[in-house]
Structures are given as structure tokens and as C-alpha cells.
Amino acid sequence: MNLEDINAVAKLLSEPQKIVIIPHKNPDGDAIGSTLALWHYLKNRGQNAQIIVPNDFPKFLKWMPGQDQIMNFEKENSQSKALINEATIIFTLDFNHLGRIAQMEPVLIESDATFVMIDHHQAPADYAQYMYSDVLMSSTCEMVYNFIEFLGDEDKITPEMAICLYTGIMTDTGSFKYSSTTSRTHRVVANLIDKGAENTKAHNLVFDTNTPNRLHLLGCALKNMVILEEYNTAYITLSQDELDTYGFQKGDTEGFVNYGLTLHGIRFAVIFIENREEGIIKISFRSEGEFSVNEFARKHFNGGGHTNAAGGRSDIPLKETAEYFVSLLKEYKTQLNP
């Protein structure tokens, strides 16, 4: 964020505002962690602020301080709309084009509020007056830490804010192992622990909350895994019937895609998950090294994200989607065999 924008935002925040903070649809740890930390910060400054999520978030995040104050646009629709209409500032966190908030998009387009974007995805749209967009950042949580520091308030980070930011950095970096994790990320994390983030607690509450059903579903996913050695690729399919068999709950398939990359030599891992209700196949892509799943998802599966982690979708049935995917790999053979 340039100095001019920081000063402009600082000036706005020096006056009382009506603030709405919005993460992307299907919010993850970084989305919830960053919005909650910013919310605590703004509330502590005496601002009127409300987080509105486009839809519900997974149970393994429902312990974070302040999460019970989050409003759900799907469930509390008229109240959410009223708050957005009255808002003078809208912060959008961990996404960069309004399509990522689905049914909230038309309400935001109507708004006269000043938009502030804080995000680390590629190719930002230009809906925000103030943009803090940096694809080199590990997470939006690291950026919210920086944002608070830019405003000269690093010393105002409370233990509640610290554990929210810690959790988002932890989840978005795969527990500090992805290539976006820098020495600066570790310094931020160290500061957050000093400010009261209970790091072991965050790991336990996020990662050690499996249900027997989820582990059995993981077993099913791993059994379904197809390994294409020729392309250093592994993919998983999960049908709606399989999800039903194991009593699928939102968030249960989180992280399944990463198992492919734990195979020696595999550089590209994908999971295809059937969603009968929406009539689509949801896809997650992960890669190691240079191969850009962001470009792959954009080009072939209506998606996008980061170089090493992206999402997409398909409107054809599960089996056909997987076959189509395999047929695309020939084109990428040299890239996948460096």
C-alpha cells in the first residue's frame, strides 16, 4: 500500500464510520482470521464495524475470538443488506473480484461506500478506491498485520487479534511450509506469539478436530486417487454418493488435495468433488514449483488463485470432467517434467 493511500485510509478512520468487513464465499482460515482481526482492531478504535460472510464457514474455525458476532448474508439477509447499504467504508478481505462473494455482489455494486481491498490473489479487479494487493504475501492475515503496522498501531494488537492473525497465516501457508512463507512471515508470527497468540492451541483447534466420518471419507479419497507418473500428477475424485455415505459436513474435504503432493515426485495434485445441489464439480488444484495452477485453472476450469494453489469448476459430470482433465495434460508434459 502506498503512503498516500495509507494516509487517506488513516484519515477516514480518524472519524466515526459505519464499517462492513467482507471475506470471500466459503471463507477459510485466512478469510475468517483476517476479518476478525481487523474487526477487533476497528472496534477497539471505537468504530462501528460488522463482519458479513457470504455463507457459513467450517466448524473448525468456530472457536476464534469474536466469531459468534459474524453475520451470515444467507441467513440474516435483510439485516445484512441494510448494514451494507448504510456502510461508509467496506473492507473486502482475501479476495479481489466481486464474483467471489456470489449473491452479495449486486448489493455491493449498489453501495456508495469507500472500498478498501486487502488481498494476496492475482489479477485484482478495480472496484476498490484503496487497494493493498500483493501476490507475494503469504496470507491476507500477514497483510492485515502490515496494515495495522502502517497505521502505527502494531502495539495495539491484542491477544484476540494475535490468535486470529496467527491462525490465518498458519492455514494459508500449510503450517508455514509453502513457498510464500518468508523470513518476514516468521517474524510476524513470532511477534504474534509475543503478543499472546497461543500457537499450540491454534494448531490443535484447527487440525485435531477430525470426526470418524471425516477420516473415513479421507480413506475413500485416498483409495480413489489416480497417479499419472508420466505427468507427475495425482488426482482424486469424490462423488456425491461417496460424500453422502460418510455424512459429509462442510469443510470435511479441506486439505485432501494436498495428499497428492506428499507423493515423491508428484508436482501437480487435483481433487474433483461432485456437488449435486449446485450441479457442478468443484475442483482444487495444487502444485509444487513453477507450474502455475492459477493459469491452468483460469484457462480450463473457470477458476484461478495463486501459482501453487487454485480453484475451479466444471459443469460436466464427474467422470467426464476427470477424463477431460487427463486429456489436457499432454499439452503440459514438458512443464510437468522439469
Residue ranges binding Mn ion (CB under 5 A): 30, 94, 139-140, 172
The closest alpha carbon to 285, from 323, 255, 312, 320, belongs to 312
Half-sphere exposure of 14 (CA within 13 A, CB side): 8
Give strand pairing partners of 50.
20
Q: Which residue lies nearer to Mn ion by CB, 33 or 260? A: 33
- Cβ of residue 206: shortest distance to Mn ion, in angstroms? 15
CB burial class (10 A; 0-12, 13-18, 19+) of residue 158? middle
Q: Which residue lies nearer to Mn ion by CB, 134 or 153? A: 134
- Cβ of residue 119: shortest distance to Mn ion, in angstroms? 8
- Cβ of residue 178: shortest distance to Mn ion, in angstroms? 11
Q: Which residue lies nearer to Mn ion by CB, 140 or 146? A: 140
Q: Which helix (H) or strand (E) holds 269?
A: strand 268-275
Rounded Cα–Cα distance for residues 300 and 24 (Å): 22
- Cβ of residue 248: shortest distance to Mn ion, in angstroms? 24
- Cβ of residue 121: shortest distance to Mn ion, in angstroms? 7
Rounded Cα–Cα distance for residues 307 and 296 (Å): 9
Q: Which residue lies nearer to Mn ion by CB, 94 or 274? A: 94
Strands 18-23, 48-53: pairing is parallel
Specify whether the CB–CB gap between 84 and 19 falls below 8 A.
no
- Closest residue to Mn ion: CB criterion: 30
- Cβ of residue 269: shortest distance to Mn ion, in angstroms? 19
Rounded Cα–Cα distance for residues 327 and 318 (Å): 14
Q: Which residue lies nearer to Mn ion by CB, 213 or 255? A: 255
- Cβ of residue 306: shortest distance to Mn ion, in angstroms? 8
Q: Which residue lies nearer to Mn ion by CB, 172 or 274? A: 172
Q: Which residue lies nearer to Mn ion by CB, 40 or 121? A: 121
State the distance between the two ends of the chain, measured CA to CA, in whole angstroms: 36
Rounded Cα–Cα distance for residues 47 and 16 (Å): 6
Grid coordinates given for 51: 463482519
